[in-house]
Amino acid sequence: MSGADSKGGARFIAFEGGEGAGKSTQARLLAEALRARGHTVVVTREPGGTPGAEAIRALLLAPPGAPWPPQAEALLFAAARADHVAHLIRPALARGDWVICDRFVDSSRAYQGGAGGLGDDAITALHAFGSGGLRPDRVILLEGDEAALAGRLAARGKAADAIERRSADYHRAVAAAFRTLAEADPHGFARIDALGAPEDVHARILAALGDMLA
């Protein structure tokens, strides 16, 4: 199921990409543009978006003990997503709203499935069980030079979370996994250059969504 299968003009857009790609900024700009066109828009994030999922987010990004084993991490993400889908995303789509999500299942596929070594089948099976296999209508994959994105992340001036602190090799593997996913589904993914002024990146995103906005 995708957002297009729901009520009226409902659409489900997910922003994906590595750390520092500007997903939150671009999600906000897209929501503003859609509201200016008269759409009702829900902006949310993963892990999180509902009280239950936000509680799991805290466990994932600041583990209470040793780092989570890959399998436990994948299960926690899937549990947070199941709550998020059931209590926020599906109800919003059923109302006919647009939903814009900062990360969704493709992050789990890239981080835990790809860089984490669990494989895509395990992650998609968890998603099928926990969230009914819900897919975005379009995934906006923000990509950019590794050094430039790392510099942007450092410029934020806030402490890195448990996932951001992982090695450069890990994050390279994440980027490679995202590329593989996008190449396998060119209709479902729009690959966007994340570098440059936010307004320029936003314009690229609007162009990539032109078929939905017409």
Q: Is the dihedral of CA 73, 66, 22, 85 positive or negative?
A: positive
User: 146-179 b/e with 16+ CB inside 10 Å = b?
Assistant: eeebbebbeeeeeeeeebeebeeeebebbbebbb
For the domain covering 3-213, report its CATH number: 3.40.50.300
- pLDDT number for residue 214: 63
Token pair belonging to 115: 């860089």
How far is it, in rounded angstroms, from Cα 189 to Cα 178?
A: 10
Output the pLDDT for position 1: 61
DSSP string covering 68-136, please?
PPHHHHHHHHHHHHHHHIIIIIHHHHHHT-EEEEES-HHHHIIIIIIITSS-HHHHHHHHHHHHTT-B-
Report pLDDT for 75. 98
Do the beta carbons of residue 193 and residue 93 sit within 8 Å? no
pTM score over 0.75 = yes
Domain ranges of the chain: 3-213
The pLDDT score that the predictor gives to residue 157 is 63
The confidence score (pLDDT) of residue 153 equals: 66
Q: How far is CA 100 from the centre of its chain?
A: 9
Give, for all 214 residues of the chain, the pLDDT tens digit: 666 666 558 999 999 998 889 999 999 999 999 999 999 999 999 999 999 999 999 999 999 999 999 999 999 999 999 999 999 999 999 999 999 999 999 999 999 999 999 999 999 999 999 999 999 999 999 998 877 777 766 676 677 788 888 888 999 999 999 999 999 999 999 999 999 999 999 999 999 999 998 6
Strand 98-102, strand 189-193: pairing: unpaired
Looking at residue 93, what is its pLDDT?
97
